[in-house]
Amino acid sequence: MSRGTPGAEPGFVTAPTRVLRRAGLAGGSAAVAFAGEAVQIVGEAGGSLAIPIQEVETLRAGLAGSKRRVHYECRLWRRGDAAPLRLDPAAQPPEELRYAAFCRALAGALERSGRIGAVETGVTRGWAALMIALGALVTLAFAAASLFALQEDEQRLGVPRAVAVAFPALFTLASAAFVYWAWSRHWPRPIASLAELERVLPR
């Protein structure tokens, strides 16, 4: 299938969501491109949607998953819409690189129009809050274990007090580092420069 309208580069392939189908796009995939100062989305089996840059309220690029398999996520809010358009790239290296080029092109256009604050990194606040909350609970549990070992009688601990305190203390630091990582990587926030966008894009 074509990756968008003629001359629309850069572009990538995404799976059509319910919102895109309601907009008239048909088929098992859709081509997304940025051309003519507008986001162009074309359904594999018909239908198209053009979003002028003036109607783009927020572009949010994020990523989830692990080091072995990263899932890239893109959400695009149009002015007046409560729900965003999900424009995640197909999980294939060529499509992911085209997706990165699309995000750079759209973000660059928003910056040139004086709206760099419309570009965000992160996922949903709900997912980010869940990750942070889980990490915080683990951090508190290990901190409590370390404090308990500090106050408990050493004979009852069964190991030297230093070991009983240090072991959970190390895990406390590690889980606290995870909380900071989850917050910095997943919590939605506007970027101050295009360089910040690069940390959530495939390379």
**pLDDT digits (tens), the chain, 203 positions:** 344 443 445 589 998 888 888 888 998 889 999 988 999 999 999 899 999 999 999 999 988 766 667 789 899 999 988 889 989 898 888 889 999 999 999 999 999 999 999 999 987 776 667 777 777 788 888 888 888 877 777 667 677 777 777 877 888 888 788 777 766 777 788 999 999 999 889 88
Distances 174 to 3, 63, 144, 181 between C-alpha atoms, Å: 44, 22, 15, 10
Same domain, 129 and 164: yes
> Is 3 a domain residue?
no
Same domain, 38 and 94: yes
CA distance 128 to 122: 8
Q: Are 89 and 72 in contact (CB under 8 A)?
A: yes
CA distance 106 to 31: 15
Q: Are 87 and 14 in contact (CB under 8 A)?
A: yes
Residue 114: give its domain's CATH number. Answer: 2.30.29.30
Helix axis angle, 125-151 to 161-186, nearest 10°: 170
Residue 67 confidence (pLDDT): 60
Which residues, 6+ apart, have CB-to-CB distance to 18 below 8 Å?
none
Distances 62 to 112, 127, 196 between C-alpha atoms, Å: 22, 12, 12
Strands of 48-52's sheet in order across: 11-14, 30-35, 38-43, 48-52
Same domain, 44 and 104: yes
Same domain, 91 and 46: yes
Q: Which two tokens stand for residue 130?
A: 């869940």
> Is 2 a domain residue?
no
CA distance 186 to 82: 21
Parent domain of 137: 125-186
Specify the number of domains making up the chain.
Answer: 2
